[in-house]
């Protein structure tokens, strides 16, 4: 009889999304002859909804004809998941998650009745630093911090043959008898061919998972993985932590083979209409020009749709932009993590040697050449002051990007900035990490969490409205309950936008 696996993602948002690891896990399981089912918490009501928040705070243009997706009560999660477990009787429950996902999952997972013989495994970025926390819940047998492409086939083989799960490289295992945790470190980084050998399986997803707001409309969006890893060392990001896991064990920063990329694109376009591809690569334009030329040549010939990329200022050159424009894509959106307008914050807190004038110039060039632009900012960094946040607001004014995303810095496990906050006594390290739209949990002398939340809410009003609105925006900043004036100013922000 076929073995059965239930894949599970405790999504913290009210909107469906294809998290990249699930199709990877599904593809591997399917290839190995396992019967698969998938469950996620996307369409169950949660208080946090970053999309609604982004519309409210003027980051996303309001979508007029947004389809209201049916969202069930959160009370149904346990009932629905328990029913799947009872009916499907999985041999394995495989969960993927970031820190927020894991913390959210623990609000309902303990209420489930999972048969003793079902193996429960958790993998993803949260496992990188918090395997002990994961295993100490007593509900999870294996915490996977390495790459699924090497770990997952081994887990499936062992469960199939009734062998124990100890000693799989890239995992921590809790022995049921001794209650001890054994960690086995990764042995080597996989080659690009090994990573993308198995075609991801997207069959779990219906239309709801593709529908996204984009430029005031709902479009069908597909997240396309094109590379993994980043060579930089920003102190608020997990990318350097992931890279250091593989130090001396091979290349972790890799680009997906072009044939594999276009194979996935071809398969998805056979199945459904996609309007916009969201390319997942931490720094897309860092690819050599030869690679970019070939990518754009094939994009024009085989796809021709709009796409979004993320890149760093240093990589934005005239030559690379010329190449991008050979792709035939109607809209190319270029996003950059600008983060802060303060030289001190960038250099001494974020470990970024950014030249702010070069960032401004890069947006000017992108805007002049007809690229759609996106800028990511963060506030509430450790030691940051109100004046420094205003330097970021001023930078946002100068940059004049088409879309801007403003996040509150969150101290995720294992980051150098989190260690700094714990060492200074500004947090304990055991807090529940809120969403990046919600609030700061750093109790630091330079700025209060309350002021950070208020500044985030009105950040784009300060940045996008002319200076004569300063007093009205300040009223909104100081009075979160004054939604009438706030909504009026947000509306006006869009009336004035390009």
Beta bridge partners of 173: 142, 182
Q: Which stretch binds ligand SF4 (CB under 6 A): 94-102, 178-186, 234-242, 444-452?
A: 234-242
Distance of CA 95 to the CA centre of its chain: 16
Helix-then-strand count for the chain, H and E: 18, 16
**Residue 312 engages ligand SF4 in binding (rule: CB under 6 A):** yes
What angle do helix axes 258-271 and 289-302 make, rounded to 10 degrees?
A: 20
Q: Which stretch binds ligand SF4 (CB under 6 A): 169-177, 228-236, 394-402, 426-434?
A: 228-236
CB of 457 to ligand B12, least distance (A): 17
Residue 175 contact among ligand B12, ligand SF4, none, beta carbon within 5 to 8 Å by kind: none
**Residue 473 engages ligand SF4 in binding (rule: CB under 6 A):** no
Residue numbers of the site for ligand B12 (CB under 6 A)? 11-13, 17-21, 24-25, 94, 96, 98-100, 121, 123-126, 144, 147-149, 151-152, 223, 225, 228, 237-239, 242, 280, 282, 407, 412-413, 436
**Residue 237 engages ligand SF4 in binding (rule: CB under 6 A):** yes
Residue 337 contact among ligand SF4, ligand B12, none, beta carbon within 5 to 8 Å by kind: ligand SF4
* Rg, C-alpha atoms of the chain: 23
Residue 240 contact among ligand SF4, ligand B12, none, beta carbon within 5 to 8 Å by kind: ligand SF4
Distance CA 18, CA 96 (A): 12
CB of 115 to ligand B12, least distance (A): 18
Q: How many residues does the chain have?
A: 498
Instruction: Between 240 and 328, name the residue whose CB sits nearer to ligand SF4.
Output: 240
CB of 296 to ligand B12, least distance (A): 21
* Nearest Cα to Cα of residue 379 among 301, 302, 463, 295: 463
User: Which of 230, 292, 329, 476 touches ligand SF4 (CB under 6 A)?
Assistant: 230
Residues in Cβ contact with 75 at an 8 Å cutoff, skipping those fewer than 6 apart: none
Residues in Cβ contact with 13 at an 8 Å cutoff, skipping those fewer than 6 apart: 42, 46, 48, 49, 50, 51
Instruction: Between 13 and 444, name the residue whose CB sits nearer to ligand B12.
Output: 13
Instruction: Between 157 and 301, name the residue whose CB sits nearer to ligand B12.
Output: 157
Six-digit token pair at 402?
Answer: 């088409």
CB of 113 to ligand B12, least distance (A): 21
Contact 407, 415 (CB under 8 A): no
* Nearest Cα to Cα of residue 212 among 59, 51, 329: 51
CB of 433 to ligand SF4, least distance (A): 17
Instruction: Between 51 and 262, name the residue whose CB sits nearer to ligand B12.
Output: 51
Instruction: Between 16 and 58, name the residue whose CB sits nearer to ligand B12.
Output: 16
Q: Which stretch binds ligand SF4 (CB under 6 A): 19-27, 231-239, 362-370, 410-418?
A: 231-239
- In 406-437, which positions are buried (b, 16+ CB within 10 angstroms) versus exposed (e)? bbbbbbbbbbbbbebbeeeebbeeeeebbbbb
Instruction: Between 155 and 239, name the residue whose CB sits nearer to ligand SF4.
Output: 239
Distance CA 260, CA 292 (A): 15
Applying the rule CB under 6 A, the residues between 280 and 299 that interact with ligand SF4 are 282
CB of 75 to ligand SF4, least distance (A): 37
Instruction: Between 272 and 361, name the residue whose CB sits nearer to ligand B12.
Output: 272
- Strand residues in 62-216 grouped as ranges (E): 92-96, 119-123, 142-144, 171-174, 181-184, 211-214
Distance CA 35, CA 112 (A): 22
Distance CA 155, CA 67 (A): 40
Distance of CA 230 to the CA centre of its chain: 14
CB of 91 to ligand B12, least distance (A): 13
**Residue 242 engages ligand SF4 in binding (rule: CB under 6 A):** no
CB of 271 to ligand SF4, least distance (A): 30
Instruction: Between 249 and 301, name the residue whose CB sits nearer to ligand B12.
Output: 249
Instruction: Between 122 and 462, name the residue whose CB sits nearer to ligand B12.
Output: 122
CB of 339 to ligand SF4, least distance (A): 8
Three-class DSSP category at 88: helix
Q: Where do contacts with ligand SF4 occur on this chain (CB under 6 A)?
A: 230, 232, 234, 237, 239-240, 282, 312, 337
């Amino acid at each position: 009889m076929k073995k059965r696996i239930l894949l599970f993602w405790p999504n913290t948002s009210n909107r469906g999304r294809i998290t990249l690891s699930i199709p990877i896990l599904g593809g591997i399981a399917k290839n190995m002859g396992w019967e698969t089912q998938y469950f996620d918490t996307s369409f169950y009501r949660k208080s946090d909804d970053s999309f609604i928040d982004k519309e409210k705070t003027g980051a996303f243009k309001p979508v007029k004809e947004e389809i209201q997706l049916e969202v069930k009560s959160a009370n149904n999660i346990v009932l629905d998941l328990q029913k799947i477990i009872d009916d499907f009787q999985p041999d394995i429950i495989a969960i993927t998650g970031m820190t927020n996902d894991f913390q959210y999952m623990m609000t309902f997972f303990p209420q489930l009745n999972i048969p003793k013989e079902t193996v429960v495994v958790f993998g993803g970025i949260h496992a990188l630093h918090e395997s002990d926390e994961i295993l100490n819940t007593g509900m999870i047998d294996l915490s996977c911090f390495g790459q699924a492409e090497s770990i997952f086939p081994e887990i499936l083989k062992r469960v199939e043959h009734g062998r124990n799960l100890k000693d799989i490289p890239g995992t921590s295992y809790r022995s049921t008898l001794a209650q001890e945790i054994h960690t086995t470190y990764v042995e080597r980084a996989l080659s690009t061919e090994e990573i993308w050998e198995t075609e991801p399986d997207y069959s779990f997803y219906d239309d709801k998972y593709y529908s996204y707001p984009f430029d005031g409309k709902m479009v069908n969006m597909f997240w396309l993985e094109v590379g993994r890893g980043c060579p930089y060392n920003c102190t608020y990001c997990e990318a350097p932590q992931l890279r250091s896991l593989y130090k001396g064990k091979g290349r972790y920063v890799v680009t997906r083979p072009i044939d594999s990329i276009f194979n996935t694109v071809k398969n998805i376009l056979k199945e459904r209409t996609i309007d916009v591809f969201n390319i997942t690569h931490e720094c897309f334009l860092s690819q050599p020009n030869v690679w970019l030329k070939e990518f754009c040549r094939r994009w024009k010939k085989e796809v021709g749709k709009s796409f979004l990329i993320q890149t760093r200022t240093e990589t934005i050159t005239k030559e690379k932009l010329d190449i991008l424009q050979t792709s035939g894509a109607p809209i190319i959106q270029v996003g950059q993590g600008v983060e802060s307008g303060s030289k001190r914050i960038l250099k001494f807190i974020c470990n970024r040697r950014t030249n702010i004038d070069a960032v401004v110039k890069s947006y000017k060039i992108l805007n002049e050449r007809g690229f759609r632009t996106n800028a990511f900012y963060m506030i509430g960094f450790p030691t940051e002051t109100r004046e420094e946040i205003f330097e970021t607001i001023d930078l946002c004014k100068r940059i004049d990007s088409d879309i801007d995303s403003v996040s509150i810095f969150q101290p995720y496990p294992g980051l150098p900035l989190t260690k700094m906050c714990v060492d200074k006594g500004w947090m304990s390290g055991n807090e529940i990490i809120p969403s990046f739209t919600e609030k700061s949990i750093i109790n630091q002398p330079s700025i209060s969490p309350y002021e950070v939340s208020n500044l985030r809410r009105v950040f784009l009003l300060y940045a996008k409205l002319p200076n004569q609105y300063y007093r009205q925006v300040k009223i909104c900043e100081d009075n979160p309950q004054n939604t009438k004036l706030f909504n009026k100013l947000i509306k006006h922000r869009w009336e004035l936008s390009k």
